[in-house]
Structure 1
């Protein structure tokens, strides 16, 4: 996903005369995961993710303002902590200015909104001061704040969310298109972890096969194989953190010609995966189906450029 700033450019007017130059950081979010489950790494079993990036974003803006307080930080507690850690890392301070934020990501449903806010804020602060911000720096800062998704990457990856470790990059992956809904309620990932670990231990062999199939699908660039593996991971998740509409959605997959079903394993998203964009007529059918279940359907292009 492209991380841009609001500078003037082709087709865009530059800031007006006398206007303060705004800086921006942008980070994409996710639609849950294509896989979440156990993975043995360096002799220890960890929780691994293959997040499903989506073209929905969080933005952080910094506008220099001589009348603002010195040392202003983003409003969010985690974003403020991340920027503070970045500044301490380089022994720098921000000039007087004001922070603003905007997000297309819902909170607490499985869109990685918190991590995306943090990464967008880090990218913005690094641009203000001209600081380097490589992948290692982001991972080390995130490690001091929260378990995180891999939204700072421009590729799919097998990622250890607690260790902040990329086990294997999977490249940009095949194109995937999603029709999805959000069930009511939010999920606290930390609170449900004690439920997940015993389930992962019981079903580790099935999870191992599912992750192997998913990686093979990415290696072959086979969107349908990726979608099948995502369906298997979603079905395993249903055993421990069930979605109310999952069985109904799974039962109608073939009827809609969907290639798979995906969920936010520790969130409230679920929906269909397609290897090609659903045409308008199918979008209408899907919307009617999900409305009959009491939900508003949304559509998005998933994956990385």
Structure 2
């Protein structure tokens, strides 16, 4: 038993989210510079887990892990995260994964991604953030569907439209997807597979746009047609948080003058929303830096 440390990355929404053959799934878009980092300070004098900042999901995850291994001890959790909550950036999923890793580190427990998933879905529908690479993941049942690997180099220009969305409440709403919608999900899934196999970001961008377009029926994003126009102009794709408040444009980092293009897109993306309560940020997969991230 020792001081335990655990961390987990966040995401920017999802590349694709929907259902195929009645199975819910999402395809992750990991952003490593969005992180939840947790320390677990074991204390044999107490028999419960205490959290510095009141986070019941994190506390419950830790308790479920200790119960899994029949451990009676307790301790204190310290949470440090730069992932804004309620935006569709996997903040609570990252917290849950990080706490399980921290406690496992303290007690030297044999933690696996499958066990993380099994515990996480007892608390809420969960993103596949326990996997470092891009994966297709059943977020309701906590099952890995397919591991695609790392995205080709990319840049993301994103907007947060403000407000928050409760993921648990949102996932309790019955959503109807037509037969045509489900065909689009399958098309998007196959485009992602092709994109990773051929290292072709254009295919992945097309897939993301298809999914974002279907999601307009479920959780519409303001100015979506403007996003489409910009994405098409710069040969990018639209990425959204299917149960959150962010949307963005995914770009191939290898395009000529990519930083000039990003500057132009940032201006053109924010112009229609001048005066609105939006936040703009950028992510570069080569530099792993998020700029102007909401705190």
| Range class of TM-score, shorter chain | 0.7 to 0.9
Q: Deviations over 1:148-171 (max 9, x none)?
A: 000001221111111111111112
- Out of 138, 142, 153, the residue aligned to residue 164 of structure 1 is 142
Question: Counterpart in 1 of 2:153?
Answer: 175
Distance 1:163 1:65, change over 3 A: closer
1:38 counterpart (8, 12, 19): 19
Name which of 259, 263, 270 aligns with 1:291.
270
Q: Which residue of 2 is the match for residue 85 of structure 1? A: 64
**Any conservation in 2 of the 1:60–1:99 contact (CA below 8 Å)?**
yes
Distance in 1 (alpha carbons) for counterparts of 2:188 and 2:155: 21
Q: State how far apart, in whole Å, the 2-side matches of 1:274 and 1:252 are.
A: 11
How far apart, CA to CA, are the structure 2 residues paired with 1:231 and 1:149? Answer: 20
Tell me which residue corresponds to 1:151: 129
Residues in 2 aligned to 1:258 and 1:174: alpha-carbon distance in whole angstroms: 15
Do 2:11 and 2:31's aligned partners in 1 also have CA atoms closer than 8 Å?
A: yes
CA distance in 2, matches of 1:173, 1:285: 24
The one-character-per-residue Cα deviations of 1:90-109 (angstroms, maximum 9, x if unpaired) are 112445x4321111111111
Question: 2:35 corresponds to which residue?
Answer: 57
Structure 2 residue runs without a partner (length 5+): 289-295
Report the CA distance shift for 1:214/1:62 in structure 2 as closer, same or farther (over 3 A). same
Q: In structure 2, do the counterparts of structure 1 residues 190 and 143 end up closer, same or farther at CA, with 3 Å as the change threshold?
A: closer
RMSD over aligned Cα atoms: 2.4
The structure with the largest alpha-carbon Rg is 1
The answer on whether the counterparts of 1:25 and 1:120 sit within 8 Å (CA) in structure 2 is yes
Partner of 2:253: 276
Which string of whole-angstrom CA distances, capped at 9 and with x for unpartnered residues, describes residues 163-212 of structure 1? Answer: 11111111223233211011122223344446663125552122221211
